[in-house]
Amino acid sequence: MNSGNPHRVVVIGSGFGGLFGTQALKRADVEITLIAKTTHHLFQPLLYQVATGILSEGEIAPSTREILARQRNARVVLGDVTGVDLDARTVTAVTVGRETVVPYDSLIVAAGAGQSYFGNDHFSEHAPGMKSIDDALELRGRIFGAFELAELASTPAEIERLMTFVVVGAGPTGVEMAGQIAELAHRTLKRDFRRVDPRSARIILIDGAPLVLPTFGQRLGGKARRQLESMGVEVMLKTKVTDVDGTGLVIEDEKGERHRIEALTKVWAAGVQASPLARILAEQTGAEIDRAGRIEVLPDCTLPGHPEVFVVGDMAALDGLPGVAQVAIQQSRYAAEAIKRRIAGKPEQAPFTYFDKGSMATISRFSAVASIGKVSLSGFFAWLMWLGVHLVYITGFKHRVTTLLHWAVSFLGRGRSQRTTTEQQVFARNVIKSVGEDAYPTLPRVAEDRPEQPKAG
């Protein structure tokens, strides 16, 4: 029962889990502090459309403060969470050198996951992932920049290297990215250059699995592969990437033979690694960590010995559930309901059960695949379903409207309204990494440096 002071809830992360969990507590007698290292809520499934110039970053990453502006019991704090003290029930976050400690009564951890290079993190220097707005903008600069450089190239070998695009990972993100690069080359850019023909671009999709879209099954995976190949995408399955450098990559086929592909632009869409917070929590609770860095949670999404701590989404390992948005949304709503029940003194809920609403992936304009229960769909109807579902989950009416307009421009016409690229987009990540932590400023606490002066009078 509530003792008089509002129950303090801290939510870590502003993705699907963090945002939907916060909104589910809108009418509860709680004080919510949402802590995230970005100021936006990212609709990650559409990152590839930012990378290929269909959508702007603002349409898939609206301000978290704007979304929660009317939710009076929610406060948004910018910060990178560096520690959680389960015994003291505090969360520590750092922003430009300033440390903030926030106490909690209940904690929802929804910090998500980053890109995994399967122990080869140095690959990231030349093959950006697809997990953030920074990634998408860098890839946009690299993709459009490759065509620009090809126009300036002086030898056939240089042109071929610049006009070869390799996507590693044949899951939904990889398939969608490969399909959109193919559409860029064959439709959007085909009339824009004079010395090179964008339609001669070579797009390669690589995966170690035997199927495209393996989670969709052999039938839909086969259809997706045939559609990609009809668009000119080369699909290389049962193939591993063993090395990546600035001008290409080395692959190993199923026979163990190694080959080099010359390609300036590489996209890494294979594998995920849970937030380091999972390991921090595991060390304090004794919970197990799986190969993807996810922490194993109890059936009610809590940690052993800490029923006040819920871990949801890509960070949580439970019953083999996939790292998709619907899992994060349903788990966070389950956590919010558990908190409300405890405050009201109601009985605990039954263990969490996931309702699978299906999976979808686009291949090109007017073509997609969808798996919903025992029903498998492909082609134009599946594509319409994909449009409708994604419009529903885009946050905010204005973002839905502008997204629909941009889709009309890109899918009905040939244009891409977001083709602006800068050197900063392409080079900033690696420059910052080379400079190291010295590149990050610190913000001193002015009140500590200058004691407050007595007021006159």
Encoded amino acid at 227, one letter: Q
Instruction: Supply 425's token pair.
Output: 């987009």
Residue 252 near residue 258 (C-beta atoms within 8 A): yes
Other C-beta atoms closer than 10 Å to the C-beta of 27 total: 9
* Active site positions, annotated: 176
Mind giving me the DSSP string for 195-248?
A: SS-GGG-EEEEE-SSSSSSGGGHHHHHHHHHHHHHHTTEEEE-S-EEEEEETTE
- Other beta carbons within 10 Å of 351: 12
Residue tagged 């920049």 (tokens): 145
CA distance 194 to 142: 20
What is the Cβ-side half-sphere exposure of residue 159, based on CA atoms within 13 angstroms?
A: 13
Determine the distance from the C-alpha atom of residue 130 to the mean position of all C-alpha atoms in its chain, rounded to a whole number. 6
Q: Where are the beta strands (DSSP E) in 48-125?
A: 74-78, 80-85, 90-95, 98-103, 106-109, 113-115
Q: Indicate the burial class of 143 (C-beta count within 10 angstroms; 0-12, 13-18, 19 or more).
A: buried
Measured between alpha carbons, how far is 86 from 79 in angstroms, rounded to an integer?
A: 19
Listed residue (121, 196, 213, 115) closest to 161, CA to CA: 196
Let me know if 47 is exposed, middle or buried by CB neighbors in 10 A (0-12, 13-18, 19+): buried
What are φ and ψ of residue 169, in 5° steps? 115, 115
Strands (DSSP E) along 263-342, which ranges?
265-268, 272-274, 295-296, 302-303, 306-311, 316-317
Task: Quote the tokens at residue 274.
Answer: 């849970």
